[in-house]
Chain A
Amino acid sequence: MAIITKELALEIVKKLKAKVEKQTKAHDIASVYHEGKMIAHFGIRRGSRRDLGHDHIPEQIFLRPREARLLAQCPLSREGWIKIMSDKGKL
């Protein structure tokens, strides 16, 4: 089973206050903004399966898979993620 399922991907969208900016044939593309600038984006696959794999998301938001899971499951906050992004020079 995927580390990041569709269910967790949707939690990440909520957690990062990402905005679905575009719908393509196979994805909804969600972008994350900080202080008016787009700092990351990732695709949410179409499909009703809750376990649909989204293991591409961690790389897109500059996290390890385990950290991305923590982001979806609560322990890591948006502020915590912004701090990580800042430390990695991505802001």
Chain B
Amino acid sequence: MARFESINLPCSEVEEELEKMWRRPPECPGGRKTVRREPIAGESAEVIPKLIGAFREELTVTLREAARIGILEREVALLKQRCSRLEDLSPILVPIQSLAPEPYEVIKPFHAVVRAQGQDYTATFFDANISASGDTQSEAVLNLKDIIVGTFEILSMKDENELGPGPAQQRQVLQESIRRKR
């Protein structure tokens, strides 16, 4: 026989008791609102506190579960937010194969490393130590291309003895990577 476990009673008995508890009082034939209830006595007097206790236990478990699910939902939302931020923060490699619309061509393709810095992005051509910033990743890459061309033009006009070690190395890397279109 099926039993209601928290109060150790057969289910049929529990249903019976619940039926007694929740039965609506009969309509008053005289239209008077006061209805006399039968006092609870006998077996019912013992079962009702048990039922209330069981109901309280079940309610506590349900509320605890609901609170737990609420916390887990918040945690998941937070983790999703952090994952998306981490994806934004992780550097990406952008292959540079063209400098269009500038009148320059790439002779040895290279990569720009684009990193998030605060709310902006920085794109860097590491070999040449040339960087540029942008409000978005694509703007940073476009700005990098712009500065690569500008730097190349400045450095190409200089004599060897006008350049310190940094710019001299930059010029060498740039000369290997890009050239003016013929």
Contacts and interface: CB of A to CB of B under 8 A. Distances in A.
Contacts of B167: 38-41
B41 interface: no
Contacts of A78: none
A29 B129 contact: no
A41 B119 contact: no
Interface residues of B, number: 31
Interface stretch (B16-24, B29-37, B69-77, B149-157): B149-157
Interface string A25-40: 1110101001011111
Interface in A1-25: 1-3, 21-22, 24-25
B60 to A, nearest CB: 48
Contacts of A26: 132, 142-143, 146-147
A24 B146 contact: yes
Interface string B126-164: 000111111100000011001101110110001001111
B154 A37 contact: no
Contacts of B161: 37
A63 interface: no
Given A43-B132, A53-B134, 19 more contacts: A1-B119, A2-B117, A22-B153, A24-B149, A26-B132, A26-B143, A26-B147, A27-B147, A29-B151, A36-B162, A37-B164, A40-B164, A41-B151, A41-B154, A43-B143, A45-B143, A53-B135, A55-B133, A60-B131
